[in-house]
Amino acid sequence: MKFDDEVVRTHDELLEQMNRATQSNVSASELFDEIHRWETVTIEKVHKAAERTRQQLTQLLTREKDSLTNDFGIMTKEIRNRRDEDDFDENDVERLQQKINQIQISLKQFTGATKTKAII
């Protein structure tokens, strides 16, 4: 019968297509869930990386500050000892002046590094 062959069969095919489309919506929902999981995991990884970077930067800045403080302390002790004992020559003056200049440069770099903003 022509009605069954054309109308009913076309109707049944359309019904099957609609069922597949509905199942695709379930798949779409699963994809949205997967995107949400990916987003959550990615954000957590970024948070952990940022925290590690903060810790590394803190350690680096502390080491630099301690190194500058130590170098300055050693130089200060030498300057005071040589002055108190009146034991210095032109080479000592030049060497200590170079050391002062070196510490000044290091201090400028250190304070500049703490003021620099990173561009991400």
Q: Look up residue 23 and give its amino acid.
A: Q
Please determine, for residue 69, whether its predicted confidence score (pLDDT) is greater than 90.
yes
116 pLDDT tier (thresholds 50, 70, 90): low
Q: Which residue has the higher pLDDT, 88 or 57?
A: 57
| Verdict on whether the full-model pTM lies above 0.75 | no
Where do the structural domains in the chain lie, given as residue ranges? 2-115
DSSP 71-107: HHHHHHHHHHHHHHHT---HHHHHHHHHHHHHHHHHH
Break the chain down into helix, strand, coil percent, rounded to 5.
90, 0, 10
Task: Kindly list the distances between the CA atom of residue 29 and the CA atoms of 16, 23, 35, 72, in Å, as whole numbers in the listed order.
Answer: 20, 10, 10, 64
Asked whether the CA dihedral 66, 68, 72, 75 is positive or negative, the reply is positive
The angle subtended at Cα 93 by Cα 87 and Cα 96, nearest 5°, is 105
